[in-house]
Amino acid sequence: MPATALVAAPATAAVAPGLLALHSSAGELGVGWRPLDGSAPDRMATFDLGRTLANALLTCVEQVCPASQWPALGRLAVATGPGGFTSTRLTVVLARTLAQQLQLPLDGVGSWLLIARRLGLEAPAWLVQELPRRGLVAGLYAPDPVGAGGVQERLAPRLYADAAALQARQQAPCRVVAVDVAADLGSLLDLASQAHRAGREAPWQPVLPLYATAPVAAD
């Protein structure tokens, strides 16, 4: 269960109030913790778990934020996909459960919105990932100075038959993308921190994993 520590805080770092973020929309699990008052450095790590995520999820989360510190959390964030069915579902379920039991706000952020933010889009573009023998998963994103992270999701990711089906919806260039958990975990923390500072409510009930669905005949 190898882990890659991105930024590590000293053992004496402040534990409250904190933001816990989870991202598993690819083959890795990313766990990040940030003090909401800025009193200590972030703690972030990625874990290359593959099919063992179900058994190792809690252990990995506790390496970054021990369970004894969970009652001191002030906010939660989770990447909602699209991504692997099992991995994304497990982290969303864990985040929803913690938010419900601890009565905390939960920010659900699409993993492709995080990608779009990382790319720094200057014009509308389809973000595309090919699924062999199934079609293309694609979502339409555009720069937005007042949007979350400077990006607007115009059409949420879903499964299309081919590139022609995308352009039938809206003409825009296509950019082939991939989830990068290590690169996007910091953005997830940033967006949830911004929401906290703005005092935005974030009920846990609407936060659900996003799965690509089959293209309809009209596409």
From the CB of residue 36, how many other CB atoms can be counted at a distance below 10 Å?
16
Q: What is the pTM of this model?
A: 0.87
DSSP 102: H
DSSP 178: -
Q: Alpha-carbon distance 192 to 34, whole Å?
A: 10
Q: What is the pLDDT of residues 111-157, one digit of tens each?
A: 999 999 999 999 999 999 988 777 899 999 999 988 767 899 999 99
Q: What is the pLDDT of residues 8-62, one digit of tens each?
A: 444 444 455 999 999 998 879 999 999 998 888 999 999 998 888 889 999 999 9
Is the C-alpha dihedral spanning 147, 203, 104, 9 positive or negative?
A: negative
Q: What is the dihedral of CA 180, 186, 187, 192, to 10 degrees?
A: 130
Nearest CA to 140 out of 149, 121, 153, 159 is that of 153
What CATH fold (topology level) applies to the domain 3-110+179-197? Nucleotidyltransferase; domain 5 (3.30.420)
From the CB of residue 165, how many other CB atoms can be counted at a distance below 10 Å?
17
